[in-house]
């Protein structure tokens, strides 16, 4: 997601009450006036949005969405007991009866990543998607958390489902690649602590960043858990943004990329690191100057026993490795392995951009064969 301080920022809302029971703080801005006025709760195969239309803290309307994002019921519940409707079976405290958090949202491998950014509710002017976002819980069950209603990456399409967790927490589930599965989860607790986690290369959840929300709703990373750069994006680079897509061909010495000090000779295989202690999240800046935090390195590309590379897989099966050779947290080499076995390696050009250092293919044993 993008941390934005622009005029579209949504302020967190007040606590909402229905039938004398608290639903937690409003986290979604249904009328796009800049202040959150709704609580969204996922319930099995549908989602319910409770809205305070007049700003008095009492729920005035309830909207139920089906599995495909269609509106099943819109009802004015002001002045009546809204829990008696047959359209949903949730109780007014927001208990859904199913685990929609994917596990303990404060642990190291079962939580999710912050889908809110400094604008804690995202861009609410987006087009709502009909896709239902699901997340796999600790028992391996796929749980639907509802249709995306918030646009976190600013591309005009909603990508995040927001639900109310236990104890007044707000949880955002973001589907960054559009496959219907959450690959980033954000938990914001009632005391404004934030935990950000993503799916790593092994398919497990790991905490990528923690922090707090300041009084203006901006995310402030904890010391040593990320970066405070304002333009840091918490989603991965898009396919068209990775270095080789904009590289001038043949502008660097191919021997530089073939040197094990820069990248491994067997591009398809990385070495399991002996020690990942002290690893810092790798940051990648694309040719447009947009900065991405890719997470803590998990693979050892140069075989020195230290994890130095973050591996990602694009929607078409292309594998991308972002390597930090010198341990300063900045990407020094990008390796793309296409589905047909061709390989392109990019390195910094020294003036803020990227250049092609080598191309080739993978041999029968996975070794890099220069073109």
pLDDT, averaged across the chain: 67
Are residues 141 and 271 part of one domain? no
* 2 in a structural domain: no
* 5 in a structural domain: no
Cα separation, 371 vs 357, whole angstroms: 11
Are residues 140 and 102 part of one domain? yes
Are residues 83 and 52 part of one domain? yes
Q: Please, which pLDDT band fits residue 297 given cuts at 50, 70 and 90?
A: confident
Q: Is the pTM of this model over 0.95?
A: no
* 160 in a structural domain: yes
Are residues 248 and 221 part of one domain? no
Are residues 195 and 62 part of one domain? yes
* 3 in a structural domain: no
Cα separation, 224 vs 206, whole angstroms: 16
What is the number of other CB atoms lying within 10 angstroms of the CB of residue 318?
15
Are residues 186 and 287 part of one domain? no
* 290 in a structural domain: yes
Domain boundary among 227, 257, 273: 227
Are residues 366 and 260 part of one domain? yes
Q: What percent of the chain has pLDDT over 70?
A: 61
Residue 94 pLDDT > 50, yes or no? no
Q: What is the pLDDT of residue 52?
A: 92
Are residues 255 and 208 part of one domain? no
Domain boundary among 174, 201, 227: 227
**pLDDT tens per residue across span 220-279:** 777 654 433 333 344 444 433 333 332 223 333 333 443 333 333 333 344 444 454 446
Are residues 344 and 271 part of one domain? yes
Residue 96 pLDDT > 50, yes or no? no
**pLDDT tens per residue across span 320-361:** 888 888 888 888 898 888 888 888 888 888 877 788 888 888
**pLDDT tens per residue across span 155-183:** 778 888 888 766 677 888 888 888 888 88
* 8 in a structural domain: no
Domain boundary among 199, 227, 255: 227
Are residues 328 and 299 part of one domain? yes
Residue 129 pLDDT > 60, yes or no? no
Tally of domains in the chain: 2
Cα separation, 232 vs 290, whole angstroms: 7
| Coil, strand or helix at 22 | strand
* 234 in a structural domain: no
Half-sphere exposure of 75 toward its Cβ, with a 13 Å CA cutoff?
19
Residue 33 pLDDT > 80, yes or no? yes
Higher pLDDT: 32 or 117? It is 32
* 9 in a structural domain: no
Residue 169 CA, distance from chain mean position: 18
Are residues 179 and 60 part of one domain? yes
Q: Please, which pLDDT band fits residue 197 given cuts at 50, 70 and 90?
A: confident
Are residues 208 and 79 part of one domain? yes
Higher pLDDT: 63 or 86? It is 63
The parent domain of residue 182 ranges over 15-227
């Amino acid at each position: 997601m993008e941390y934005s301080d622009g005029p579209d920022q949504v302020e967190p809302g007040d606590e909402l009450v229905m039938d004398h029971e608290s639903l937690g703080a409003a986290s979604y801005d249904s009328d796009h006036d800049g202040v959150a006025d709704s609580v969204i709760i996922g319930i099995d195969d549908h989602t319910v949005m409770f809205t305070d239309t007049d700003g008095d803290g009492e729920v005035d309307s309830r909207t139920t969405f089906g599995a495909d994002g269609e509106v099943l019921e819109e009802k004015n519940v002001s002045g009546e007991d809204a829990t008696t409707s047959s359209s949903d079976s949730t109780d007014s405290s927001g208990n859904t009866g199913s685990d929609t958090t994917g596990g303990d949202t404060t642990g190291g491998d079962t939580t999710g990543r912050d889908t809110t950014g400094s604008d804690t509710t995202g861009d609410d002017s987006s087009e709502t998607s009909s896709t239902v976002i699901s997340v796999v819980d600790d028992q391996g069950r796929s749980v639907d958390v509802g249709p995306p209603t918030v646009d976190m990456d600013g591309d005009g399409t909603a990508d995040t489902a927001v639900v109310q967790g236990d104890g007044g927490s707000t949880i955002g589930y973001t589907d960054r690649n559009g496959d219907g599965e959450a690959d980033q989860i954000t938990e914001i607790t009632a005391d404004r602590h934030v935990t950000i986690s993503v799916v790593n290369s092994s398919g497990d959840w790991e905490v990528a960043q923690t922090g707090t929300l300041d009084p203006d709703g901006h995310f402030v990373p904890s010391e040593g858990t990320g970066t405070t750069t304002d333009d840091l994006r918490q989603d991965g680079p898009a396919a068209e943004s990775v270095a080789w897509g904009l590289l001038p061909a043949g502008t660097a010495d191919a021997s530089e990329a073939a040197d094990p000090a820069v990248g491994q000779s067997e591009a398809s295989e990385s070495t399991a690191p002996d020690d990942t202690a002290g690893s810092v999240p790798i940051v990648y800046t694309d040719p447009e100057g947009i900065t991405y935090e890719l997470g803590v390195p998990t693979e050892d590309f140069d075989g020195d026993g230290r994890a130095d590379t973050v591996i990602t897989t694009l929607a078409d099966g292309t594998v991308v490795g972002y390597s930090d050779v010198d341990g300063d947290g900045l990407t020094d080499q990008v390796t793309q392995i296409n589905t047909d076995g061709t390989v392109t390696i990019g390195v910094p050009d020294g003036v803020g951009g990227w250049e092609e250092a080598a191309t080739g293919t993978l041999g029968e044993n996975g070794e890099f064969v220069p073109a």
